Structure 1
């Protein structure tokens, strides 16, 4: 099944592998504090993928339930072996979607953010992309 998926992803050690066929329905570059802490970087690029198209092909990610700045309690899923952040699930604001990290994809070429969110937290040295900008979560 793994080789037939359009988009394949894995953790750094390769223990957890997953894939999906549809192109992401949403691609965001998030500058919120939660994403910065989880990624260890200035921002995190996330791809919205329908849960029904997502297939876990090997390994079992570990889920960390947390309360985000918005007050929601999504699950941050990562590899228990190497610690790679893989996807976020159970977001009340986005029922039916998982948010896959761009860095987990084997071939991320051609995937570009459609918007930047929580730009009020963007560091001053980070250059805004030429996409819609939102100080907080749009909606």
Structure 2
């Protein structure tokens, strides 16, 4: 499925070819804090199927509890989070933030990760596979 989107102010835009079945929710506490809300919804895409068409995102490198480093890309003007990917050499997989895609209504989550960190007041998402960690 072809998608396109960008940040809130329009300084950064992208296009990608994604598999909608790769859409997921992450409830980890890092995602909660980075988004300022209860969870993050992402669709994964390989490097060759993702292209920034305007602008250059700023990068913040987050180090997880495992020691893994993840580049968090966002717009330096409006602050919109765009994607996350691995740091260093090797093929990249981008986790596109679904809220930035114009086709977000068609990117329905199939899995929930780090469900053990889900906020207790959230409703259950019916039909979405639950994984306690990742």
Same fold (TM over 0.5): yes
Segment of structure 1 superposing worse, 65-74 or 41-50: 65-74
**C-alpha deviations, 1:66-111, integer Å up to 9, x for none?**
102332101000001111100001168xx53100001111121221
Aligned position for 2:5: 9
Aligned length: 132
Query: Which ranges of 4 or more aligned residues in structure 1 deviate by more than 3 Å?
Result: none
- Is 1:132 the equivalent of 2:129? yes
Q: How does 1:48-59 map onto structure 2 within 5 Å?
A: 48-59=44-55
* RMSD of aligned Cα (Å): 1.9
The structure richer in strand per residue is 2
Unaligned runs of 5+ in 2: none
User: What stretches of structure 1 of length at least 5 have no aligned partner?
Assistant: none
Tell me, yes or no, if the aligned pair for 2:21 and 2:110 is still in contact at 8 Å.
Answer: no
Counterpart Cα distance in 2 of 1:91 and 1:27? 21
Q: Does 1:45 align with 2:44?
A: no
Match among 79, 83, 92 for residue 83 of structure 1: 79
> Is 2:104 aligned against 1:104?
no
Q: 1:30 and 2:34 equivalent?
A: no
Pair 7,27 (structure 1): closer, same or farther in 2 beyond 3 Å: same
